[in-house]
Amino acid sequence: MKAPSVKMRLLVAGGLVIVLVLGLSGFGMTWLFKRHVERRIGAELDTYITHIASRLMFEANNQPHINNQLADPRFGKIYSGLYWQADNETSGLSTRSRSLWDLRLALPDDLPAINKVDIHVIGGPLQTRLLVHERRLRFTSRSGEQIVRLSAAIDLAELELSASEFAEDVGIILLLLGCFLLLAGWVQIRVGLDPLALVQQSIVAIRSGKIRRIGNDMPREVAPLCDEVNRLLEAQEASIERARHRACDLAHGFKTPLTALNADIRGLREKGEHKLASNIAAISLQMQRQIERELTRTRIRDFNKIYPCRIRPVITAIADTLKRTPQGEFKTIEILCPASFEVRVDANDLTELLGNLMENAVKHAKDKITVKVEKKHSKARIEIDDDGDGISSPFYEIAKKRGVRLDQTATGSGLGLAIVSDILEVYGEKLELGLSEMNGLQARFSLPLPL
């Protein structure tokens, strides 16, 4: 399973943090709003108690009453949710707001200290819950001192409704804020990871041969990575160069002994040892072919230093050369390739590829050879057909197997096909053989297009 991208990980982590923080902020602000409303309502209830106390009068039997109704009309509406009550503890008589109708506030039995505000939550009319503020005050009447318990109450449903409406409004604001923060986080992530995209683009440019190293104009956080990549490229180039030199030295080192061995073969033939000379000559030829192959591999260019080249001039030059050979003098070579068609292959490698395959086609063709180049699946598709006898189909499948050398398995295919396979392997491609439209052999392969 493919791991999620760094951008997605950062975005998901940031989104979770934003949701958590905004969620806690929403709960916190709602709780603070509720506390604020409770304090404000409590202050109003205390104000009502003060107003009631300032208007409280006593009849002859010490029945408490207020001379004028309070300004808030809810006190006059039955079960409106706002109530007051005055209980004369001295006479046992009481009075209350019209909004309580025939009910009384069921206050706790414990009595607060004189002039101290006490707060309760009790049951109210119609199964409501009431927030109650009460004070015990001393009054003087004609009959003497009177202690009255004044209470003002409000339905908590109003508080809950206000808190709920506030939470909805805050929720909408926080949702919009969360979307904005997510968008800002995405932009921040994109900007923050842009240097990594630049590193990727630089590596692609290195692979395409446009540049050799990642530039030094990178942020400090990414610069160490770029330096390590550059050092790795330098070490790789040095290692490849040393390997080429060793292979070249080894191949050239064998050429002199083989030359001497060929002289000995001639000496044996002069002495009449034809069978022994033939056996040694066969071994010598095999060694020469292997040496030539290794020399060819050392000439294959580094894929990181490749620049686009036009393919038609290369095909035309090879065709002109083959037309001057005895095998190609009377044969037709048809080229089907746009003049401006380019491939991302080293020119020498391209010449080696086409030269071996076209030479092989000319060698086995009867009258005609066709070289066709076209774009197919974002690559250049090259097909070389001849009208010769071809090879048997079992060798088509063998040619596709990795590591199998066609010159060791297919009679008559020659060393050139193995060299072609070696070169194509460098570019991540492979040689395919099949039946041509002219009933001969078709050699086909793909090459990368310019980036």
Residue 357's φ and ψ, nearest 5 degrees, are -70, -40
> Would you list the DSSP string of 220-245?
TTTHHHHHHHHHHHHHHHHHHHHHHH
Q: Look at residues 245, 280, 299 and tell me which one is the last residue of a structural domain.
A: 299
Name the pairing type of β-strands 368-376 and 332-336: parallel
Domain coverage including residue 231? 223-299
Hey, which of 217-221, 281-285, 337-341 has the most confident mean pLDDT? 337-341
* pLDDT for position 305: 56
Q: Which residue has the tokens 């095999």?
A: 286
Q: For residues 90 and 141, what is the distance between their CA atoms, to the nearest angstrom? A: 11
* pLDDT for position 377: 84
pLDDT tops 70 at residue 237? yes
Instruction: Give percent of the chain with pLDDT exceeding 70.
Output: 88
Residue 172 belongs to some domain of the structure: no
Residue 1 belongs to some domain of the structure: no
- Is there a single domain that holds both residue 253 and residue 119? no
- Is there a single domain that holds both residue 325 and residue 438? yes
Instruction: Evaluate whether 293 touches 420 at the Cβ level (below 8 Å).
Output: no
Q: 268: domain CATH number?
A: 1.10.287
- Is there a single domain that holds both residue 313 and residue 291? no
- Is there a single domain that holds both residue 282 and residue 376? no
163-209 pLDDT per residue, tens: 899 999 999 999 999 999 999 989 988 888 888 888 888 888 777 66
- Is there a single domain that holds both residue 285 and residue 322? no
Strand partners, 132: 120, 153
Model confidence, pTM: 0.50
285 or 301, greater pLDDT: 285
pLDDT tops 80 at residue 260? no
Instruction: Give the residue-averaged pLDDT of 100-115.
Output: 90
- Is there a single domain that holds both residue 320 and residue 272? no
Q: Which residue has the tokens 């919009």?
A: 176
Q: 358: domain CATH number?
A: 3.30.565.10
- Is there a single domain that holds both residue 394 and residue 437? yes
Q: Please, which pLDDT band fits residue 148 given cuts at 50, 70 and 90?
A: very high
Q: Give the number of C-alpha atoms closer than 13 A to the C-alpha of residue 209, restricted to the C-beta side.
A: 17
- Is there a single domain that holds both residue 340 and residue 287? no
Candidate from 83-92, 286-295, 419-428 with smallest mean pLDDT: 286-295
> Would you list the DSSP string of 342-387?
EESS-HHHHHHHHHHHHHHHHHH-SSEEEEEEEEETTEEEEEEEE-
- Is there a single domain that holds both residue 417 and residue 340? yes
Residue 15 belongs to some domain of the structure: yes
Q: Please, which pLDDT band fits residue 307 given cuts at 50, 70 and 90?
A: low
Strand partners, 101: none
Which residues lie below 8 Å from residue 327, measured CB to CB, with a gap of 6+? 362, 363
pLDDT tops 50 at residue 408? no
* pLDDT for position 341: 92
Residue 204 belongs to some domain of the structure: no
pLDDT tops 90 at residue 372? yes
User: Among 283, 285, 290, which residue's Cα sits nearest to residue 251?
Assistant: 290
User: Among 120, 147, 97, 101, which residue's Cα sits nearest to residue 42?
Assistant: 120
Residue 178 belongs to some domain of the structure: no
Instruction: Evaluate whether 416 touches 406 at the Cβ level (below 8 Å).
Output: no
Which residues lie below 8 Å from residue 167, measured CB to CB, with a gap of 6+? 26, 30
- Is there a single domain that holds both residue 17 and residue 96? yes
**Amino acid found at 117:** V
Q: For residues 72 and 398, what is the distance between their CA atoms, to the nearest angstrom? A: 102
For residue 212, the 8-state DSSP code is: S
21-37 pLDDT per residue, tens: 999 999 999 999 989 98
CA Rg value for the chain: 50
Q: Is 428 left (phi over 0), alpha (psi -120 to 50) or beta?
A: left
Please measure the distance between the N-terminal and C-terminal CA atoms of the chain and give it in whole angstroms: 29
Q: For residues 438 and 390, what is the distance between their CA atoms, to the nearest angstrom? A: 10
- Is there a single domain that holds both residue 277 and residue 313? no
50-81 pLDDT per residue, tens: 999 999 999 888 899 888 778 889 999 999 99
Q: For residues 4 and 309, what is the distance between their CA atoms, to the nearest angstrom? A: 39
Instruction: Give the residue-averaged pLDDT of 233-246.
Output: 78
Residue 284 belongs to some domain of the structure: yes
346-370 pLDDT per residue, tens: 888 888 899 989 998 998 899 999 9
- Is there a single domain that holds both residue 359 and residue 443? yes
User: Among 417, 415, 419, which residue's Cα sits nearest to residue 432?
Assistant: 417
Q: Please, which pLDDT band fits residue 325 given cuts at 50, 70 and 90?
A: confident
Residue 58 belongs to some domain of the structure: yes
* pLDDT for position 423: 83
> Could you give the number of structural domains in the chain?
3
Instruction: Give percent of the chain with pLDDT exceeding 90.
Output: 37
Q: 120: domain CATH number?
A: 3.30.450
Q: Look at residues 299, 322, 353 and tell me which one is the last residue of a structural domain.
A: 299
pLDDT tops 80 at residue 411? no
Q: Look at residues 161, 185, 205 and tell me which one is the last residue of a structural domain.
A: 161
Tokens coding 77: 């509406």
pLDDT tops 90 at residue 129? yes
Residue 206 belongs to some domain of the structure: no
Average pLDDT, the chain: 84
pLDDT tops 70 at residue 303? no
Candidate from 84-98, 181-195, 211-225 with smallest mean pLDDT: 211-225
